[in-house]
Amino acid sequence: MGVTEKEKMLSGELYEPWDDELIIERSRARQLTNSLNQTKDSENHYRKQLIEDLFGTIEGEMGLEPPFYCDYGYNIHVGEGFFANFNCVFLDVCPITIGKRVLIGPNVQLYTATHPIDRKTRASGLEAGKPITVGDDVWIGGNAVVNPGVTIGDNVIIGAGAVVTKDVPANVFVGGNPAKRIKDIE
Percent of the chain residues past pLDDT 70, beyond the cut: 99
Active site positions, annotated = 115
Q: What is the pLDDT of residue 121?
A: 95
Taking the C-alpha atoms of residue 92 and residue 102, their distance in angstroms, rounded to an integer, is 17
Domain ranges of the chain: 5-184
pLDDT at 173 over 80: yes
Taking the C-alpha atoms of residue 50 and residue 133, their distance in angstroms, rounded to an integer, is 23
Distances (CA, A) of 88 to 7, 26, 68, 155, 186: 26, 17, 5, 21, 28
Among the CATH numbers 2.160.10.10, 3.40.50.10140, 1.10.10.10, 3.40.50.720, which is that of 5-184? 2.160.10.10
Helices 20-37 and 44-54, packing angle to 10 deg: 160
Phi, psi (rounded to 5 degrees) for 181: -65, 130
Within 13 Å, how many C-alpha atoms sit on residue 25's CB side? Answer: 19
Taking the C-alpha atoms of residue 22 and residue 162, their distance in angstroms, rounded to an integer, is 31
| Angle (nearest 5°) at CA 96 between 58 and 150 | 145
Q: 64: pLDDT confidence band, cut at 50, 70 and 90?
A: very high
Mean pLDDT along residues 143-151: 98
Q: What is the pLDDT of residue 21?
A: 98
Alpha-carbon 101 to chain mean position: 16
pTM: 0.96
